[in-house]
A = this chain, B = another copy of it.
Amino acid sequence: MGKAILLVCDGLGDRPFAERGGKTPLQVAKKPNSDELAREGINGQMDVISPGIVPGSDTAHLALLGYDPFQCYPGRGTFEALGAGIELKEGDIAFRGNFATVAEDGSMRILDRRAGRFGSKALADALNGIEINGVEVIVKHTVEHRCAVVFRGEGLSRFVSDVDPHEEGLPPRKCIPTRSERNAERTARIVNEFVRRSHEILSEHPENEERRRKGVPVANILLLRGAGAHESVEPFQERFGFKACCIAGASLYKGVAKFLGIPTIDVEGATGNANTNLKAKAESAIEALKTHDFVFVHVKATDNFGHDGDFDGKVRMIERIDAEMISLFREIDAYVVVTADHSTPVSLRRHSADPVPVVICGDGVRTDTVQKFDEFAAASGGLGRLRGKDLIPILSDLMGFYKMFGT
């Protein structure tokens, strides 16, 4: 049986950027190893969910790992909580939380949705364990401004809206029920009370006093979004017949993996940021192949540069991935797949529905005429245009872990 590494560069796909001659970061980047993969492998473009549907990071990864997100999607919070190492119980409602900065002039306008990308265990601990109407709130810090928040108690519902308005300059939104049911109304009230208290408690926290003195953004509120519930699905190994593991810095991706029964291997220096230790991740992936059939490796920073509108940063990140990871993957006897979970065009600073390039390199693939790994070249590849959820089945067949349908 064959083995495989799937490298997902978050938000890698892009659109032509006028200020760089209408090229994408992938087209501008010097990436000899990726181009070599493209020449030796089979290429295509992939609608991770379906054409025109803008993928979230969570639904995209479900699809990339072979699960149709239209059929199983518990809500983002679930993945954040699982990724943060919280064991979810039946009835728990989980959220992604952002430490954020709101104006201290009484207007509650959001000045920075990410509090200058700051957060800490101490801030999370100050909120952890709060009880509201018999519901316990679990708050766990993960990376930078991010944390996972779980409401545990009777009579809760995931059908409530986001507190995070996803836009600066506005005050936090009131959480409201998205279905007219008693539990959703109760959950919304508890969430709103929690957010109110988070502002009260964080505003007075010594770490924020310190930040005020330094003149950096204070993390004086916790914005919640992506309510999710506990849910169970057929584990990955049962569905596809091979043993997988995950290497990722950011907790969302670890959470998606955990949701599918895929363990995460922790790598020192894997931060989910641009400063992440790519080489360590690549080496760990190669090591993990000794005991697993399949390693899913996630690199986050390409997406961050897309969100920041930083063309050159994205180019440099692609070049680093090429030099520090793909160069190593080219040496191993395994299928190598490189792709993205969605496009995050620098010109848009948000996810888009543009399909992503994908290359599969390894024994027996029908090599095509593609010479470069980028969005444009991929469109004439031998894979044609695929869906994200078809990738793992295709790989299973190549690896030899196929299941025949019929006889």
Contacts and interface: CB of A to CB of B under 8 A. Distances in A.
Interface residues of A, number: 59
Given A56-B407, A406-B69, A390 B50 contact: yes
B368 A379 contact: yes
Interface string A383-402: 11111001111111100001
Given A52-B397, A364-B347, A76 B390 contact: no
B366 A407 contact: no
Integer count of this chain's copies in the complex = 2
A284 interface: no
A250 interface: no
A177 interface: no
A57 interface: yes
Contact of A397 (B54, B59, B376, B390): B54
A55 B381 CA distance: 23
A392 B407 CA distance: 22
Contacts of A364: 15-16, 345, 347-348
A386 B51 contact: yes
Nearest to A56: B406
A407 B225 contact: yes
Interface of A is mostly: loop
Contacts of A55: 404-406
Contact of A384 (B56, B60, B366, B379): B379
Contact of A366 (B54, B348, B379, B406): B379
Contacts of A73: 406
Contact of A56 (B58, B69, B394, B404): B404
Given A58-B406, A225-B407, A379-B381, 19 more contacts: A50-B393, A51-B386, A52-B390, A52-B395, A53-B393, A54-B405, A55-B405, A55-B406, A56-B404, A56-B406, A56-B407, A57-B406, A69-B405, A96-B407, A348-B364, A353-B397, A354-B366, A368-B379, A376-B382
Complex A-B, nearest 6 residue pairs according to Cβ-Cβ distance, in ascending order:
A52-B393, A56-B406, A59-B406, A384-B385, A51-B390, A353-B397
